[in-house]
Structure 1
Amino acid sequence: MYAIVEIAGQQFKVSKDQKVYVHRLGSDVDAKVSFDKVLLIDNGGSVTLGAPAIEGASVEAKVLQHLKGDKVIVFKKKRRKGYKKKNGHRQSLTQIIIENIVASGATKKAAAPKKEAAPKATKKADVEVETATEEVKPKATRAKKPKTEE
């Protein structure tokens, strides 16, 4: 069983007892958190889809620790101009473990994609008649001034 859930603005595919690094959450360490924006649940082949989220479904997790990610170096340079700029960044992350996926209220089943019939081809004569009946307006022309002899 897995679910696709939106956590802190990003979508994650999670399953039970999985550890996930997400953007920093405001919860304390060892606190229980619940995410209600569950977009999809797959329970052994039966897929439940939300539009956009599944009503009553949630993913329960526990905060393990707060940490910082790897350093990313941003180096800018313009050659022959003497311009160099070096910056670094470390993203604040939270490690969580998924404890439970609650699928209550999940009644909507994902339907197989339906094939839509292609629009019927119009006859060439019908197209020619339609284009022939359109009115063509002449372009506006600017009146020329007569040349005066001096």
Structure 2
Amino acid sequence: MYAVVKIKGAQFKVQAGQKLYVNRMAEAVGDTVELNEVMLVDNDGSVTVGKPFVEGASVTAKVVNHLKDDKVIVFKKKRRKGYRKKNGHRSHLSQIEIESIKA
């Protein structure tokens, strides 16, 4: 059984027991989160697609950890002009574990 869920503006294909990294969530480590924006549910070949969300479907997840992603370097340059800018950032992430899918 798997589901396609919208979490913090991004879509993820999730299964029970799976761990994944999403944009930082406001909940504390150890809290349980109910995700109601389920777009698709596949229950052993029986596929339910929402318009845009599936009625009554939800995914329960637990926040495992808060961390920062690897550094991403942004480098801008205009040739022959002497213009060079180097910037970087580290995205804030949350690691969550999917506990159950309710269709």
Q: Which amino acid aligns with 2:69?
A: G
RMSD: 0.6
1:13 has 2:8 as partner: no
**For the residues of structure 2 that align with 1:79 and 1:35, how far apart are their CA atoms?**
48
Greater strand proportion = 2
Residues 1:88 and 2:88 are matched in the alignment: yes
Residue of structure 1 equivalent to 2:69:
69
Detail structure 1 runs of 4+ shifted over 2 Å in the superposition.
Answer: none
Deviation at 1:26? 0.3
Question: Residue 60 of structure 2: SS of its match in structure 1?
Answer: strand
Please state how far the C-alpha of 1:78 moved relative to its aligned partner. Answer: 1.4
Q: Rg bigger for which structure?
A: 1
Structure 2 unaligned regions, length at least 5 = none
Q: Structure 1 CA distance, aligned partners of 2:28 and 2:47?
A: 33
- Find the aligned partners of 2:2 and 2:70 in 1 and give their Cα distance: 28
Higher relative contact order at CA 8 Å, sep ≥6: structure 1 or structure 2? 2
How far apart are the structure 2 equivalents of 1:17 and 1:47? 20
- TM-score, normalised to structure 1's length? 0.67
What is the rounded CA distance, in whole Å, between the counterparts of 2:54 and 2:71 in structure 1? Answer: 37
Structure with greater helix percent: 1
Instruction: After superposition, give the CA deviation of every residue in 1:109-149 in whole Å (9 maximum; x if it has no partner).
Output: xxxxxxxxxxxxxxxxxxxxxxxxxxxxxxxxxxxxxxxxx
Kindly provide the CA deviation profile for residues 27-49 of structure 1, in whole angstroms up to 9, marking residues without a partner as x.
Answer: 00000001000000001100011
Q: Deviations over 1:76-111 (max 9, x none)?
A: 1112211110000111100000000011xxxxxxxx
Identity %: 63
How much does 1:56 deviate? 1.0
Q: Between Structure 1 and Structure 2, how many residues are aligned?
A: 103
Show structure 1 runs of 5+ residues with no match.
104-150
Q: Following the alignment from structure 1 to structure 2, what is the Cα–Cα distance between the partners of residues 47 and 26?
A: 32
